[in-house]
Amino acid sequence: MIKTLFYGAALLAAVQLAACGDSKVSAVKDTRLPNAEFTIAESMDRAKDCKSADWSSQVVNEATIVTRTCTVPMGPDELKRYKEVALEEVAREERDGLDTYNRFVSQAAASLQSSAETYRTSVQSAEDELRTLQALPLNPPDFSNVPFLSEALRARATRDYELLVARRAEEIKAAQERVAAVKAGGPQGVVEEQQALKDFAGWKDRYAAALAQTGQSIRKQVDQHFEKGRSVQVVVRFRYRVDKPAVPLDTVVLVDGKQSVGSDPAYVNLPQNMSRVYSYVGGVVSFPASKAFDAAFPLEYTYSASAGTPNGVKVKGAAGTAS
């Protein structure tokens, strides 16, 4: 397997010898790789996307290295798909931003409805408990059916009844306090949550406008990024050996003189498959639209059920809500 290494622009800046009449270049071009139907030159020439291809040789560490440099067109037509991807990212950020906002408002409204229902059921439960306690019978002891009951037992029964009455009174008082506490705290909490949701939901149009303005700004950046073509070169190196077949060394994809990201484009084995070269070039020429949109969007939203906490939308990093 051919080992692919990526070098910087220094590779192209190395001292080169003219290919014209260079016997070492000719020897490399005429080499047939193992089990190959075509020579290296014939195989390389099948890459129709090359605008031009130059051969040269140079001496590196006392070894002769033959280099083929293929210039790949990367003008507006070739860059179009990368630009379309960036513009779609911008549109998606706008859609997702508004969808997320609407979803959050819907969730907050559902939470408010749940809180109101919880308050209602809490009041009902506390009142039901109070009514149950108040309805429990308290029957004083009746000694008419036991005329011969001793005074000690009569006194004990009377004392037990008095304790029951006192305990019941305490239970009713505690239940009344629970009802009062639920009624006192519940409505205020619901009112605060209603106001917080109202403040937040009122930002819908302004939030949508901020999304649209940010999208317009990023689209201008995309246009500027792709308004001119790029310089793309595919550089393949071989080691020349006297009276022996040449040895493929590595392949380098350069964009504007800088190495591209990615792995082996398999250009030596399949030079006609330029689509893989374009995919690696994309790592350099593409525009990070989503990242740029997120950095440029000026607002963020915050929500709290407490009226003392700012609610709605605020400028990033600001203490209060935006105005």
Rounded Cα gap, residues 234 and 239, in angstroms:
17
Instruction: Flag the least confident range among 53-67, 222-236, 258-272, 280-294.
Output: 258-272
When pLDDT is averaged across residues 194-202 and rounded to a whole number, the result is: 79
Instruction: Flag the least confident range among 35-39, 197-201, 317-321.
Output: 317-321
Rounded Cα gap, residues 89 and 290, in angstroms:
6
Rounded Cα gap, residues 99 and 93, in angstroms:
10
Beta bridge partners of 21: none
Give the pLDDT confidence of 76-96 residue by residue, as tens digits. Answer: 887 888 899 999 999 999 999
Collapse the DSSP code of 58 into the 3-class scheme (helix H, G, I; strand E, B; otherwise coil) and give the result: strand
Q: In Å, what is the CA distance from 202 to each residue of 131, 205, 220?
A: 43, 8, 30
Q: In sequence order, which ranges of the chain are alpha helices (DSSP H)?
A: 10-13, 23-29, 40-44, 76-135, 151-201, 204-225, 274-285, 289-296
Q: What is the DSSP letter of 39?
A: B
Sign of CA dihedral 184, 187, 190, 194: negative
Provide φ and ψ at 8, rounded to 5°: -85, -170
Task: Give the DSSP H/E element, type plus range, for residue 237.
Answer: strand 232-241
Share of the chain above pLDDT 70, in %: 80
When pLDDT is averaged across residues 252-278 and rounded to a whole number, the result is: 60
Q: Above 70 in pLDDT, residue 9?
A: no
pLDDT at 196: 75
Rounded Cα gap, residues 237 and 235, in angstroms:
7
pTM over 0.75: no
Cβ-based neighbour number of residue 219 at 10 Å: 16
Residue type present at position 175: A
Rounded Cα gap, residues 220 and 211, in angstroms:
14
Cβ-based neighbour number of residue 224 at 10 Å: 10
pLDDT at 257: 81
Taking all residues of the chain, what is their mean pLDDT, rounded to a whole number?
80
